[in-house]
Structure 1
Amino acid sequence: MVNYRYLGNSGFKISEITYGNWVTHGSQVENDKAIDTVRAALELGITTFDTADVYANTAAESVLGEALKDERRESLEIFTKVYFPTGPKGPNDTGLSRKHIMDSINGSLKRLGTDYVDLYQAHRYDYETPIEETFQAFADVVRQGKALYIGVSEWTAEQLREGSALAKDLGIQLISNQPQYSMLWRVIEGKVVPASEELGISQIVWSPMAQGVLSGKYLPGQPVPEGSRATDEKSGAHFIKSFLDEDVLTAVQNLKPIAEQAGLTMPQLAIAWVLQNKNVAAALVGASRPEQLADSVKASGVVLDAEVMTAIDQALSGVVQDDAEDTYRVSPKTRVA
């Protein structure tokens, strides 16, 4: 079964393996198969589910809501996000303005079939909206009982500090950040993690397997496997391109004996690695088939000793991206239309 961790400086616990439906529900996977996978997640002990209104242009929320409709709501932790354009993509269908937040939370709740979400997240930082406006709207969402806690995604250390201060002034809790993080992508370690530890903010990390590259299935000098994420734009093929470097793929193959010696599969090693970071509350995993989840959850509770952690660093020496400046390049400077 899956272990639980506190999210930020709060009394709220979430499953450290969290199910995310970014590229699967409403697009890559048929709805009945998606629902079967959610039910498999529940059977494996996953109770925390992460989605966003922009995933499959709102369809992913609807599929998740359908899959969870017969479950006891109090036993679930449901997260969603706001920022990116949805619907007809009009001038106010994007960003973190008060109007877009208020419209979006109502739409998300309807699609998810719930009265509230446990965590409502700013999917990116909005440079075109005063942050005071954004957090006042978030505070009202919390006071209306539509969200219990507030989180963000891919914010810089400075943005986290400003958001945390505003949240405290407004009497609400900013408890999480959702960045990309893996053995290969460690840009949050320099500034974001230290600031978060100071502020009482946890990381809910996406792509712990570097878009599947850390599974070892992408081999150097060979074509990418048919049907893999690298061949499907709907599955985030553009996200994986930076990892499909010959040096990276060669280094990843060096992880195989390390995983075997630890008694883990390659995906389990990748997920367990991010969970060694005490500031990480959960690793987001997706799945197109139930058996993929059965493998992933076995990473919960795994402790990698110092020797294994050192061996991983040595295996990936020279191919890890750890420049903290990359955290400043994620949120677009103008709203996505």
Structure 2
Amino acid sequence: MEHRRLGRSGLNVSEISYGNWLTHGDQIERDQAFSCVRAALDSGITTFDTADVYAGTKAEVVLGEALEGIRRESYELFTKVFWPTGPGPNDRGLGRKHIIESCHASLRRLRTDHLDLYQAHRYDPTVPLEETLRAFEDLVRAGKVLYVGVSEWDAPQIAAAVEIAAAAGFDQIISNQPQYSMLWRKIEAEVIPASRAAGISQLVWSPVAQGVLTGKYRPGAPPPEETRAASGSGAGFIRRLMGDEVLTRVQGLLPVAADIGLSPAQLAVAWVLQNDNVASAIIGASRPEQVHENVKAAGVTLDPEVLTRIDAVLGDVVITDPNIV
């Protein structure tokens, strides 16, 4: 496993991270989740990403249990705050009360005394940005959070946070966690240039486009049983990528992967890691063998000719417009 620095910080992260959105506490059983975490550790993954909202807080609980007994200094533990975790008006957003209370709750669920990275899961336009950043800073000063990041923030939001933090003497944001894949490239236009200028890296989620880039979904055919597209919780997130035109183009990537000795999933993960602003690609898994397969993308260099072939195959199904959500 290769490691990369996260932004301008001194924190090293594994090129492949393990994330548990839509899996732990939801799609897969506890024992199976434990097996996937063990497979990640055995494969050299040191970076684990979750969020308080995943599976209604149960994902953090499962991850904390799965990592119990592992030397804390040997892995990096990331979580997020923003989405509602309770019925009250202060159980959501990026106000000071919710950030501080959610951090304490995440620490309890994850069975740890500190988070390596605490991330604002979305931007909150209803709260002054200085209040949000000051709350994060206080958690850093208290030793409960080592570094601060954001998730799915756009370029102007990132730039505003960097400016406020610099003026106030706060710890700077070191990461952004956006969706990024061969099919979903909208961060390339504005977010990545702004991040590079600010010394911020990307921790990208869905590098395999929620399984679409594995080639297991075929145009005109129903999704295979026990796949994300066939599940109640996962289908809604993947539906926009399931059109016949997209699936037909993805089938054209299979020989590209085969020609260089990679599986389609490995090709997809390796592709996002070619971007030098990407510190880590977050993978999810419902079976240990998926982890073992995807980690083989670490350290892979794709020749320019391969990248050109990929672009030619995908053509206009690639999403690059930052205004398309």
- TM-score, with structure 2 as normaliser: 0.98
- Provide the rounded CA distance (Å) in 1 between the counterparts of 2:70 and 2:147: 21
Consecutive unaligned residues of structure 2, counting only runs of 5 or more, are: none
Distance 2:308 2:111 in 1: 46
1:153 aligned residue: 151
Q: Which deviates more, 181-190 or 32-41? A: 32-41
Question: Which whole-Å CA distance do the structure 1 matches of 2:247 and 2:289 have between them?
Answer: 25
Structure 1 residue 280 corresponds to structure 2 residue 278 = yes
CA distance in 1, matches of 2:308, 2:227: 30
Q: 1:73 matched to which residue of 2?
A: 72
Show the counterpart of 2:30: 31
Aligned pairs (5 A) from 1:157-168: 157-168=155-166
Structure 1 residue corresponding to 2:320, chosen from 308, 319, 322: 322
Q: What are the equivalent positions in structure 2 for 1:180-259 lying under 5 Å apart? A: 180-234=179-233, 236-259=234-257
Match of 1:124 in 2: 122
Letter in 1 for 2:94: L
Amino acid at match of 2:270: A
Report percent identity of matched pairs.
Answer: 60
Letter in 1 for 2:281: A
How many residues end up aligned between the 2 structures? Answer: 324
Write out the 4+ residue segments of structure 1 that deviate beyond 3 Å after TM superposition.
none
Q: Deviations over 1:198-249 (max 9, x none)?
A: 0000000000011100000000111111221112132x31111111111111
Distance in 1, Cα, partners of 2:151 & 2:123: 8
Q: Distance in 2 between matches of 1:244 and 1:314?
A: 20
Q: Distance in 2 between matches of 1:170 and 1:120?
A: 18
2:133–2:170 Cα contact (<8 Å) kept = no
**Corresponding residue SS for 1:316:** helix
Counterpart-to-counterpart distance in 2, 1:202 and 1:233: 33
TM-score, length-scaled by structure 1: 0.95
Pairs within 5 Å for 1:8-157: 8-87=7-86, 89-157=87-155
Distance 1:240 1:120 in 2: 26
Structure 1 gaps of 5+ residues are: 330-337
The one-letter amino acid of 1:183's match is M
1:4 is aligned to 2:3 = yes
Out of 277, 289, 294, the residue aligned to residue 287 of structure 2 is: 289
Q: Deviations over 1:247-270 (max 9, x none)?
A: 111100110110001110000000
Kindly indicate whether the alpha-carbon contact (under 8 Å) linking 2:266 and 2:296 is maintained by their aligned counterparts in 1: yes
Equivalent residue number for residue 177 of structure 2: 178
Partner in structure 2 of residue 305 of structure 1: 303
CA RMSD of aligned residues (A): 0.9
* CA distance in structure 1 between the partners assigned to 2:235 and 2:7 by the alignment: 32
Verify the 8 A CA contact 2:37 2:66 in the aligned structure 1: yes
- Residues 254-273 of structure 1: pairs in structure 2 closer than 5 A: 254-273=252-271
2:181 is paired with a residue of what secondary structure?
coil
Give the 3-state SS of the residue equivalent to 2:272 in structure 1. helix
User: In 2, Cα distance between the equivalents of 1:40 and 1:251?
Assistant: 31
2: CA distance between counterparts of 1:205 and 1:78? 15
1:90 positional shift: 1.2
Q: Contact between 1:276 and 1:303, CA under 8 Å: does it hold in 2? A: yes
Equivalent position SS for 2:249: helix
Do the aligned residues in 2 keep the contact of 1:139 with 1:167 (CA within 8 Å)? no
Q: Which stretch shows the higher mean deviation, 281-290 or 317-326?
A: 317-326
CA contact (8 A) 1:124 1:152 kept: yes
* Equivalent-residue separation in structure 1 for 2:79 and 2:50 (angstroms): 5
Aligned-partner SS, 2:18: strand
**C-alpha displacement at 1:195, in angstroms?**
0.4
Whole-Å Cα distance in 2 between the matches of residues 300 and 150 of structure 1?
A: 25
In 1, distance between residues paired with 2:228 and 2:117?
28
Are the equivalent residues in 2 in contact too, given 1:136–1:170 (CA < 8 A)? no
State the AA in 2 paired with 1:206: W
Q: Tell me whether 160-169 or 137-146 shows the greater mean CA deviation.
A: 160-169
